[in-house]
Amino acid sequence: MGIRPEEVRRVAEVARLELGEGETERMAAELSAVLDYAEAIRRLAPPPGATPEPGGAADLRADEPGGATLTNRQALAMAPASQEGFFVVPAFLESAEP
């Protein structure tokens, strides 16, 4: 997929950029290389929405909680500050009003 120098000139004109003739040719070549690279990556990537088969290598966990969990008391015991069953954190907004 190539970008023609005329296209680069038009985009430069719309963007109000001044490009010399050598810069126009160089930009066309560089943009063409970027688009070719993006096209190569697009061909390698799976289509949007594609998901791996269940039980495959990407199936990292079941959709159910499991393993060890902390009780509220255990979690709050490790907190620097707590109050009435909640973590206490420093305020970072002076006001919620705009």
- The tokens for 31 are 């943009």
Reported pTM: 0.45
Instruction: CATH number of the domain at 33, please.
Output: 1.10.20.60
Predicted confidence at residue 21, as pLDDT, reads 78
Residue 17 belongs to some domain of the structure: yes
Domain count, the chain: 1
Q: 9 with 19: CB under 8 angstroms?
A: yes
Residue 32 belongs to some domain of the structure: yes
Residue 71 belongs to some domain of the structure: no
Predicted confidence at residue 91, as pLDDT, reads 82
Residue 51 belongs to some domain of the structure: no
Residue 90 belongs to some domain of the structure: no
Mind listing the pLDDT tens digit of every residue in the chain (98 residues)? 689 999 999 999 999 999 987 899 999 999 999 999 999 988 887 776 666 665 555 556 666 777 788 899 999 998 999 999 999 998 877 766 65
Provide the domain limits for residue 32. 5-44
Residue 12 belongs to some domain of the structure: yes
Residue 56 belongs to some domain of the structure: no
The CA–CA distances, whole Å, from 88 to 13, 36, 70, 80, 81 equal 57, 53, 18, 8, 5
Residue 64 belongs to some domain of the structure: no
